[in-house]
Amino acid sequence: MIFDPRLIRLIMELRTAGVSDTAVLSAIERVPRDMFVPESMSDRAYENSALPIGFGQYISAPLVVGQMVQLLPRDEKLKILEIGTGSGYQTAILSDLYRRVYTIEIERELLDAAQRRWEKLEITNIVTRHADGQKGWGEQAPFDAMIVSVAFDDAPDQLLAHLRVGGFMIIPIGNDEKNQVITKITKTNGGFNAQPYYPVQYMPWAQTAGLPNRAVI
């Protein structure tokens, strides 16, 4: 396989910045990010930056994707729920790591576009839903792990209710864009344990005007 030199530089940058999970890095190598950005921005596809994809939404920076995904358990049999499909880039990376991925997107046109990209890449293990991601996916619950692409003051109760005991949620916590942290929340028999990891900037839920999946970085 011949790699784009831009991709090689990106992978090296992610390693230097702390994305150390080799499975995650390999998935990022295999998913062509240029397919998930507007054609007018294809020359920037392998920059470590967020890029606009329409509807006020952005494809997240590869570093943020790598940081969040590597916090998930490495077990391909886990049942994974993604809140905020967006371009479908992170979903495609998850699909490389897990047997089946469930994803919710509130913008129908974004979801349809993501599905067309997956079809071109012959990805067949993604199950989609057009809905408000904050409400979760009760019919498919419980989930072993969730990854949320919008910031909240606190993790939504309805999403937490759809986690199994022992399950994980990776979510940006904080309503101030300058004071957010990617947080891993574990559901226990007695409640929830939260562990902060990386500083991040996502559009807070309160600012999305009803569109909960607008990642900005």
Q: Which residues does the annotation mark as catalytic?
A: 60
Backbone phi, psi, residue 6, to 5°: -65, -40
CB 95 within 8 A of CB 126: yes
Enter the tokens of residue 49: 């930056």
Residue 49 has what DSSP assignment? S
Enter the tokens of residue 95: 């699909």
CB 149 within 8 A of CB 169: no
Helices marked H in the chain: 5-17, 22-30, 62-69, 89-97, 108-120, 157-161
- Report the distance separating Cα 185 and Cα 175, nearest Å: 17
- Report the distance separating Cα 156 and Cα 139, nearest Å: 17
State the Rg of the chain over Cα: 16
CB 82 within 8 A of CB 149: yes
